[in-house]
Structure 1
Amino acid sequence: MTEPLVSVVILNHNRKEILRECLESALDLDWPNLEWILVDNASTDGSAEMAEEEFGEHVRVIRRSENCVTAARNQGFEAARGKVILSLDNDIILPDRKVVGKGMELFERFPRAGLLSFVIGDPDSPARFLPEHWWHPVPHKEGQDRFFLTTYFPEAALFLRAEAFRVTGGYDPLFHMGVEQIDLALKLLREGYLVLYCPNLVCVERVTRGQLASQRTRIHYLNMRNKLWIAWKHYPLGKGFRYAMGRIGASAIRSLRHGWFGYFLEGLRDGVLAPKGIRDQRKPLPASVWKTHDRIQRGWFVEGATASPLPPEPQAPDGDE
């Protein structure tokens, strides 16, 4: 019996040497039916040329002329032929060669799971998670070694059902980057899929956020703007107002403390004055989906397919609050 095809989709921008390590790791995975796709996001350091020259026999390279993270991920997913997509950033190393088999087994055990979230490990100690990637609804001391449902996932490494991508449309290209995973998690919930944190899926991130030269980057603008766009798209009026005010207050305090208040103000302006492309997507999640969402936010551990039942399918949409 032939095992299902799994598509390994790697996103790259200007990290040629680290990309080489990532490709070597991906090509070493132990699964009998794999394809490899590299989406090069307008690199200028010869990354795409290196990949074609050294790995072209196995890896299909898609070159983009514009650097847009969300659009590039979607382009790679659209090109994938597999039943399941393993999405990786170019600085991810997979120390467990059998991780694909583990992911496929989890999808079999949990048919409602549309996306499996990895542990992003420290380069010096893969079993130790990087705290900058822990924005899950449960404290790390309580949840790091247990399976649980979540509304967050690090985009650096994940398994995604191809059918879940097709149904949701994937990432919103208008976001570019910055909390785009929260938007996708809500779209998955709307369609009846769940995001499952999996402590047995471990990868290593070679370039951690703490190693970046400056934290005063435009990502702070994008995060503020995109959080408000999420409210525009998915939240009913009352719940959306409370969500937005909480994010605005927290971001304002952090921006004053760390010196990026200008980015905060830009993001606040452009988030409130959302473009037509965002406003046209407004479709608040139904009350039944919010019930599942809020239950997940309180901590929903899943020890087995029957021990902790998954939520029912969402009902027909309700109107705004």
Structure 2
Amino acid sequence: MSQPLVSIICLCYNHERFLREALDSVLTQTYPNLEVIIVDDCSTDNSVSIIRKYVQQYPQLKFISTGQNLGNTRAFNIGWRASQGQFILDFATDDVLLPGRVAQQVAQFQRLGPAYGVVYSDAEYISDASEHLYFHSQRYKAAPDGDVFAEVLGRYFICPPTMLMRREVFEKLHGYDEALAYEDFDFWIRSARQYKYAYLPEVTTKRRLHNHSLSGNLYKKGNQLLASTVVVCRRAAEMVQTPQEHAALARRLKYEARHAYLTANFTEAEQLLQLLKQTTGTPFLYSLIRQLSKRRINLGFLRSLYYRLRNR
């Protein structure tokens, strides 16, 4: 069976501490037909110097500098549009690929039909010091296959850096939406409406958790990521078709509205609750939250108390 070209888009922004481990994990992939493109989004640390040394030592690596800080969505789009691979891997250079990652996922794609656009897998979460924290599958038990639109709309279960994607998915979607502050949720919604997903029950990736990761900042007060969530939820409301999908959207809106309100992101909370009202109606609890949000009454201590009790 032929071995299709896989493009690994290595996205770097101030990853000096992790960059060598990340690039070494790309270079030790067992899959032979790789195109590796490193995109640096105008790092201010020593990342570019490290990248140049790798490119000098490994001429097969391609290096693109954005010239100015563009953010994840725009920087990644530059990388995949410069690539040629039949499959695309979005790789942040603070994470680590296990050696068989690409080979395993390509093999799964080759067992699937063209209706499948994404293969995702289990992952190990690691600390700044590369110490084991937990496995993704320990916290998110169910990993569905096939039509996952309602699932990705209603809850989080995909570890983003584990995805390998068909090139045609990006071409049909015109890449990530560059107007958004982050890409995952929007990509899932738009791609899952048109393509099936497949789960590989293997740990293929180490995902690093640290203070500067986007996911860790999503619900901080005043963070612009929530504004993007509102946009994606509005977009999803135009896509839902079945009662199951409407219920999943309502579940997502309730979850996001609660967190927005309890982190004092009152504007986004009101927008999400207004969309909930238009979608399925507003239960009493969420009507109360909306009134509290309008009056800017901050009950954020309840969220902090919950997480303290949960993490004991």
Q: Percent identity?
A: 21
Q: Counterpart of 2:135?
A: 129
CA contact (8 A) 1:222 1:267 kept: no
TM-score normalised to structure 1 length: 0.67
Q: Counterpart of 1:229?
A: 231
CA contact (8 A) 1:93 1:204 kept: yes
Q: Counterpart of 1:114?
A: 117
Distance (Å, rounded) in 2 between the aligned partners of 1:69 and 1:156: 13
Q: Which letter does structure 1 place at the counterpart of 2:193?
A: R
Q: Counterpart of 1:267?
A: 268
Q: Counterpart of 2:38?
A: 38
Q: Equivalent of 1:61, from 60, 63, 67?
A: 63
Q: Which letter does structure 1 place at the counterpart of 2:145?
A: F
Q: Find the residue that maps to 1:199 and give its secondary structure.
A: strand
Q: What is the RMSD of the two structures over their aligned residues, measured on CA atoms?
A: 3.4
Structure 1 unaligned regions, length at least 5: 274-321
Judged with a 3 Å threshold, the aligned counterparts in structure 2 of structure 1 residues 101 and 247 are, in CA distance, closer, same or farther, namely closer
How much does 1:29 deviate?
0.6
Judged with a 3 Å threshold, the aligned counterparts in structure 2 of structure 1 residues 91 and 244 are, in CA distance, closer, same or farther, namely same
Distance (Å, rounded) in 1 between the aligned partners of 2:260 and 2:270: 15
Distance (Å, rounded) in 2 between the aligned partners of 1:131 and 1:199: 9
How much does 1:121 deviate?
0.4
Deviation readout 1:214-263 (Å, 9 max, x if unpaired): 99846544443223212322323998997776555434543555xx31xx
CA contact (8 A) 1:48 1:61 kept: no
Q: Equivalent of 1:90, from 81, 90, 93?
A: 93
Q: Counterpart of 1:154?
A: 159
Judged with a 3 Å threshold, the aligned counterparts in structure 2 of structure 1 residues 215 and 194 are, in CA distance, closer, same or farther, namely closer
CA contact (8 A) 1:231 1:243 kept: no
Q: Counterpart of 2:292?
A: none
CA contact (8 A) 2:253 2:272 kept: no
Q: Which residues of 2 match residues 1-321 of structure 1 at below 5 A?
A: 3-56=3-56, 57-64=59-66, 65-95=68-98, 97-111=99-113, 112-123=115-126, 124-125=131-132, 128-130=134-136, 139-140=140-141, 143=142, 148-149=145-146, 150=148, 151=152, 153-177=158-182, 180-191=183-194, 193-205=195-207, 207-209=208-210, 217=217, 220=220, 221-236=223-238, 246-247=251-252, 249-255=254-260, 257=262, 260-261=263-264, 264-268=265-269
Structure 2 unaligned regions, length at least 5: 275-312
How much does 1:26 deviate?
0.3
Distance (Å, rounded) in 2 between the aligned partners of 1:186 and 1:215: 18
Q: Find the residue that maps to 2:50 and give its secondary structure.
A: helix
Q: Which letter does structure 2 place at the counterpart of 1:254?
A: H
TM-score normalised to structure 2 length: 0.69
